[in-house]
Structure 1
């Protein structure tokens, strides 16, 4: 799966935060809900615009962002 098929950033939508395409649901919201214990099924029930594929894309996007994060060493 290529998360770019599901995730976009557009300055005109949610101030350019990464969102699930076709929605105003941010990647951050999905990650926050999941970190609080929500399952994919819970998210889809609360946000019917989401799919299992789009939730997987959010996780893949977050993983990619974390893997490519630049670490600035302490002085």
Structure 2
């Protein structure tokens, strides 16, 4: 899966989670997953805690964090569906 395909798994909707970047179709913040990884949780542990997620969702959070650390604007279309 390439970077763009991974980033397509992230959504931003001003009506969901205060407009914070989330895993598409879930109310799980990208920052939460990155915090889990930073605290030492493994991908397997996160997936056990959140069985509705897939490994690619975790990789998408990492890809989003990597893009943001480059101080580049990451174009994520605003999802206006409620």
User: Does the alignment reach a TM-score above 0.5?
Assistant: yes
Deviating 4+ runs (over 2 angstroms): none
1:10 aligns with 2:13: yes
Instruction: Flag structure 1 segments of 5+ consecutive residues without an equivalent.
Output: 70-75
Say how many residue pairs are matched: 69
The CA distance in 2 between the partners of 1:5 and 1:49, in whole Å, is 17
What is the RMSD of the two structures over their aligned residues, measured on CA atoms? 1.1
Greater gyration radius: 1
Instruction: Flag structure 2 segments of 5+ consecutive residues without an equivalent.
Output: 73-82
Superposition TM-score, scaled by structure 1 size: 0.86
Q: How far apart are 1:13 and its partner, in Å? A: 0.6
Superposition TM-score, scaled by structure 2 size: 0.79
Task: Compare relative contact order (CA 8 Å, sep 6+) and give the higher one, 1 or 2.
Answer: 2
